[in-house]
Amino acid sequence: MAVVSVANLIIHKGTYFEETFALTAEDGLGLNLNGASVIARIKKHSTTTQYYPFSTTLTIGDSSVKISMASTITAALQSGRNNYDILITSSAGIISKVVEGNVLVYDTVSV
């Protein structure tokens, strides 16, 4: 089972975004990501059906997940406070939330 980390993020509309998270298991060691898959999304509110997906990359060697979003997608985000989370599905099909938090989306004047 994974430890759920809380990390608040800032995204500037119309710019590339990237963040990497080290994932840990309840025993304090790196989370076993062998055969795992990942999904990460941002929503204005947790109950809305509209979401924007992050591109994701799992790195098994250091138990990390990188999320990123192209500038064309960040340009479409709603300004203000948003929510996101990252879910890992283990090779056994167990779904765990590993990271969650708020995202402050700021307008970018020059884009």
Q: What is the pLDDT of residues 34-69, one digit of tens each?
A: 999 999 999 999 899 999 999 999 999 999 999 999
Q: Within a domain: residue 84?
A: yes
Is residue 111 scored above 90 in pLDDT? no
Q: Within a domain: residue 26?
A: yes
Pairing mode of beta strands 37-43, 64-69: unpaired
Domain region containing 16: 5-103
Q: Within a domain: residue 28?
A: yes
d(Cα 72, Cα 69) in Å, to the nearest integer? 8
Q: Is pTM, for the whole model, over 0.95?
A: no
pLDDT of 1: 66
CATH number at residue 93: 2.60.40.10
Number of domains, the chain: 1
Q: Within a domain: residue 108?
A: no
Q: Within a domain: residue 111?
A: no
Is residue 10 scored above 70 in pLDDT? yes
Q: Within a domain: residue 97?
A: yes
The residues with which 105 forms a beta bridge, in sequence order, are 11, 80
Is residue 85 scored above 70 in pLDDT? yes
